[in-house]
Amino acid sequence: MKNHLKIGKKLLDLSTPKIMGIVNITPDSFYENSRFNSINNILSQIEKHLDDGADIIDIGGYSTRPGASNISIEEELKRISEPIKAIKSIFPNCILSCDTFRSQVAQIAIDNGADIINDISGGELDKNMINVIAKNKTPYILMHSKGTPQTMQSHTDYKSIFKEMINYFSQKLELLHELGLTEIIIDPGFGFAKTIEQNFELLNKLEDFYFLKQPILVGVSRKSMIYKKLDTTPNESLNGTTILNTIAISKGANILRVHDVKEAKEIVKLLF
Catalytically active residues are 223, 257
* Phi-psi domain of 140 (left: phi exceeds 0; alpha: psi -120 through 50; beta: other): beta
CA distance 116 to 98: 6
Helices within the chain (DSSP H only): 39-51, 73-90, 103-111, 129-136, 161-178, 196-204, 224-227, 238-250, 261-271
**Secondary structure (3-state) at 119:** strand
How does DSSP classify residue 12? E
8 A C-beta contact, residue 30 and residue 234: yes
CA distance 111 to 50: 23
Beta-bridged to residue 134, according to DSSP, are none
Which amino acid type is present at position 129?
A: M
